[in-house]
Chain A
Amino acid sequence: MGSVMYDRTYRKVVYHVTFPAKEDWVIQDTVFNKIIDHKLVTRQFIPMLPSSTLYEFALQNNLNNFGLEKTAYTIAHVEREGTMVVTTWTPEKRLQKVFGKIIVSQELGKLKGVAFYSPTNVLLKKQLFKSYLKNSGVEFPAEIIEILYKAGGKETKISTYKNLRINELKDDALYNFPVPVK
């Protein structure tokens, strides 16, 4: 539990965690930093950039297609299913040995779900987005259910969000939270 902050200027995703323990997490470039009592305790590579997170997509207003428009993925197939529009995105040919297709579903113009596949068409992970929050024209899901499919079974993770604030002019130090030197 806690708060998460993202400022496009700083390109940092900052988590101020209060439970289970008080700690701060800062993701910058592809580095995850865990800070406890203003001391850096963990510094680790992660294959994720702040500019490719849901926070950035929401601010750019392209969350509804999961930010895939400006990537190496292109639309391979679109179909309507009741109120749902399902789009299949496939990676560029040169990446097809490494990355599989991504299926994105939208309902009433909002992102409803994303499913990630391996190059051999095995479902790896899916994310479902529910009950959108809205503030200053920016929408963000209030609940994200993530199901990860592993060899030993599936793992479920739920993230819930509330109190969405956009363009806050205060708390700059919290958005640009400094990472201490280890």
Chain B
Amino acid sequence: MKKVFFSALLALTMNFGFAAAHAELFNVDEQEINAEFAQLNELEQFVSANEGITLSEINPSNPLVQNVNNSSDILGTLSSLKGEPPLGIPSIVWGICCSVPGVAIVYFVSEDEEETKKAVIGCAISGAVYVLYYVLGVVVGGLSFAFF
């Protein structure tokens, strides 16, 4: 009985731990984000009030554009991955699993020579394994056939 009670208690504790982790996962520190984006919010208001204005038309000495870079790029998130393997997956795995398209993904997303080399090595490994598998298949398959 004690064992059952203990197991139930343990399961309940683990469930609470899991639930708490999710609550934390899907919450953000609003104050921290507001503080981080305060200058950008002010700039947004300024731009809304001056319809059609571009960054190059704002006086560089304007405090609103201090430390602001023009990275008007949908690839912003992707380009921030420069030098890192796509989706955090090791480049060699991209090469092994996705072959040439995997190498292309690593090349375009990471824009890093070293990461691309790793993907090429992965691609070569998968190619070599395929060739080996094919050769063995022919030899073994051939011999098997000869037995009939």
Cβ-defined contact, A18 with B105, below 8 A:
no
Cβ-defined contact, B37 with A158, below 8 A:
yes
Determine whether B75 belongs to the interface, using a CB cutoff of 8 Å to chain A. yes
Cβ-defined contact, B53 with A19, below 8 A:
yes
Known contacts A15-B74, A46-B75; A21 and B33 CB within 8 A of each other:
no
Cβ-defined contact, B26 with A128, below 8 A:
yes
Determine whether B109 belongs to the interface, using a CB cutoff of 8 Å to chain A. yes
Cβ-defined contact, B22 with A19, below 8 A:
no
Determine whether A97 belongs to the interface, using a CB cutoff of 8 Å to chain B. yes
Determine whether B124 belongs to the interface, using a CB cutoff of 8 Å to chain A. no
Determine whether A172 belongs to the interface, using a CB cutoff of 8 Å to chain B. no
In B66-122, the 8 Å CB interface with A consists of 70, 72, 74-78, 80-81, 84, 86-89, 93-94, 97-98, 104-105, 108-109
Determine whether A25 belongs to the interface, using a CB cutoff of 8 Å to chain B. yes
Instruction: A155 to B71: give the CA distance in the assembly, Å.
Output: 14
Q: How far is the CB of A163 from chain B (nearest CB, A)?
A: 13
Known contacts A79-B19, A115-B25; A21 and B97 CB within 8 A of each other:
no
Q: A15-B74, A21-B70, A113-B25 are in contact. List 7 more A-B contacts (CB 8 A).
A: A46-B78, A81-B19, A84-B23, A98-B97, A119-B89, A156-B33, A156-B37
Determine whether B52 belongs to the interface, using a CB cutoff of 8 Å to chain A. yes
Q: How many residues of B contact A (CB 8 A)?
A: 41
Determine whether B55 belongs to the interface, using a CB cutoff of 8 Å to chain A. yes
Which residues of A lie under 8 Å from residue B74 when comparing CB positions?
A: 15, 25, 27, 32, 46
Binding site for A on B (CB under 8 A): 15, 18-19, 22-23, 25-26, 28, 33, 36-37, 44, 47-48, 52-56, 70, 72, 74-78, 80-81, 84, 86-89, 93-94, 97-98, 104-105, 108-109
Which residues of B lie under 8 Å from residue A17 when comparing CB positions?
A: 72
Cβ-defined contact, B19 with A19, below 8 A:
no
* Choice from A19, A44, A118 contacting B55 with Cβ under 8 Å: A19
Which residues of A lie under 8 Å from residue B54 when comparing CB positions?
A: 18-22
CB-CB nearest in chain B for A112: B26
Cβ-defined contact, B108 with A151, below 8 A:
no
Instruction: A150 to B76: give the CA distance in the assembly, Å.
Output: 14
Q: How far is the CB of A4 from chain B (nearest CB, A)?
A: 10
Known contacts A25-B74, A158-B37; A97 and B97 CB within 8 A of each other:
yes
Known contacts A44-B75, A98-B93; A150 and B33 CB within 8 A of each other:
no
Cβ-defined contact, A158 with B109, below 8 A:
no
Cβ-defined contact, B72 with A157, below 8 A:
no
Cβ-defined contact, B76 with A157, below 8 A:
yes
- Scoring B25, B48, B56, B98 by chain A CB atoms within 10 A of each residue's CB, the highest score goes to B25
Cβ-defined contact, A128 with B28, below 8 A:
yes
Cβ-defined contact, A21 with B72, below 8 A:
yes
CB-CB nearest in chain B for A86: B22
Which residues of A lie under 8 Å from residue B36 when comparing CB positions?
A: 156
